[in-house]
Amino acid sequence: MDDRDLAIVAALQRDGRATFAEIGRAVGLAASSVHQRVRRLEEQGAIRGYRAEVDPQALGLFVTALVSVTPLDPRQPDDLSDRVREFDEVEDCHSVAGDENYVLKVRARTTADLEDLLRRIREKAEVQTRTTVVLSTPFEHRPTIP
């Protein structure tokens, strides 16, 4: 990946709906060249997809929490991501080093819904959890490339 590719990726991270012509003006390439490079970046897996950034509160999801997860039995298979994939409230699943095995970012409508989700995760995944409720989020989804 060269500097122009990095500039294209940065432009798409700022505005995933930018046209190839707009990106081309920003990075000094013709729209057709940007199109070719974007297609190549997609094929290589550097660009994995495009998505809308949605306000969770507008969807009625007022509670965000980070849930640290540790298996009850350290010999159990390391398949937590498969065990929690069915829970729509789980937005992110990170395998981590440290005291816990995973950290989940979850969103729920209410604290009662969060409590119910935690119960379901514990039962389904046979884990113990430690939960941190997010009070505010000054920023998230920062571009990988500035």
Taking the mean position of all CA atoms in its chain, how far away is CA 12?
Answer: 17
Residue pLDDT tens, the chain, 146 long: 899 999 999 999 999 999 999 999 999 999 999 999 999 999 999 999 998 889 999 999 999 999 999 999 888 889 999 999 999 999 999 999 999 999 999 999 999 999 999 999 999 999 999 999 999 999 998 888 76
pLDDT of residue 146: 63
**Residue 64 burial class via C-beta count within 10 angstroms: exposed 0-12, middle 13-18, buried 19 and up:** buried
Mean pLDDT (the chain) is: 95
101-125 per-position pLDDT tens digit: 999 999 999 999 999 999 999 999 9
Q: Strand locations in the chain, DSSP E?
A: 63-71, 90-95, 102-108, 127-133
For 28, which DSSP code?
T
Scan for tokens 């379901």, then name that residue.
Answer: 120
Domains of the chain: 3-44 (1.10.10.10), 56-133 (3.30.70.920)
